[in-house]
């Protein structure tokens, strides 16, 4: 039974026509940290696929979670990671054709499900990966556009009520130094 009522969504005709399946968020329903990415890749949309597995971006995220003690796995390539204290999701739940970027309309169409996830999980920290997720989170949590592109915002935080927003470069484009910054900032936010 799906946690969220997205059913057989057809809000985005191009995505609905292309998709293998809708890729929902997953992880620990009691999570303090919600990580919001862009959209699932082709492999992650296989019948037994999970967001942030099966490609380099996924392995980088899983490796980070292992380092933070938020995964029960030791191998970042595991396809069904068991996570603790963290929920992984995306601004768009269908794999866009040819792994293209989601359109603003597609992000807006899918926001309903992301908001339902926020309501259900009630994270204390929302970490966004890449410009699409940053734009969504700034709009949703702070009612404004991000003040700059995500490269300039990497590692910075904002308060929105009792939620802390952390902007990060997407792992597909992040340098090792940027991943190290992400780990350091997350470690201190989650310790507090």
Q: Which residues bind ligand URA (CB under 6 A)?
A: 37-41, 44, 51-52, 57-58, 90, 129
Helix/strand/coil (H, E, C) string of 128-189? EECHHHHHHHHHHHHCCCCCCCHHHHCCCEEEECCEEEEEECCCCCCCHHHHHHHHHHHHHH
C-alpha span between 80 and 187 (Å, rounded): 23
Other CB atoms within 10 A of residue 100 CB: 11
29 neighbors 87 (Cβ within 8 angstroms) = yes
Give strand pairing partners of 27.
Answer: 87
Cβ of residue 145: shortest distance to ligand URA, in angstroms? 20
- Would you say 130 or 188 has its CB closer to ligand URA? 130
Cβ of residue 191: shortest distance to ligand URA, in angstroms? 26
- Would you say 49 or 164 has its CB closer to ligand URA? 49
Cβ of residue 91: shortest distance to ligand URA, in angstroms? 8
- Would you say 37 or 76 has its CB closer to ligand URA? 37
Cβ of residue 122: shortest distance to ligand URA, in angstroms? 22
- Would you say 38 or 125 has its CB closer to ligand URA? 38
- Would you say 38 or 164 has its CB closer to ligand URA? 38
Burial letters 150-159, b for 16+ CB under 10 A, else e:
beebbeeebe
Cβ of residue 133: shortest distance to ligand URA, in angstroms? 8
| Rg for the chain, CA atoms, rounded | 15
Cβ of residue 161: shortest distance to ligand URA, in angstroms? 25
C-alpha span between 129 and 91 (Å, rounded): 10
- Would you say 93 or 191 has its CB closer to ligand URA? 93
């Amino acid at each position: 039974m799906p946690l969220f009522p997205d059913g057989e969504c057809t809000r985005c005709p191009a995505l609905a026509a292309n998709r293998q399946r809708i890729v929902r968020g997953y992880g620990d329903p009691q999570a303090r940290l919600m990580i919001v990415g862009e959209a699932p890749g082709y492999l992650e949309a296989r019948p037994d696929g999970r967001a942030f597995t099966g490609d380099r971006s996924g392995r980088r995220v899983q490796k980070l979670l292992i380092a933070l003690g938020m995964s029960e796995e030791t191998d970042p390539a595991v396809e069904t990671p068991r996570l603790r204290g963290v929920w992984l999701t995306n601004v768009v739940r269908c794999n866009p054709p040819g792994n293209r970027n989601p359109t603003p309309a597609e992000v807006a169409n899918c926001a309903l499900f992301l908001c339902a996830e926020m309501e259900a999980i009630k994270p204390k920290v929302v970490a966004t990966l890449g410009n699409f997720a940053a734009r969504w989170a700034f709009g949703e949590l702070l009612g404004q556009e991000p003040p700059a592109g995500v490269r300039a915002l990497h590692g910075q935080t904002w308060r929105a009520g009792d939620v802390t927003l952390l902007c990060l470069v997407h792992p597909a484009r992040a340098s090792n130094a940027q991943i190290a910054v992400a780990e350091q900032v997350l470690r201190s936010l989650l310790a507090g």
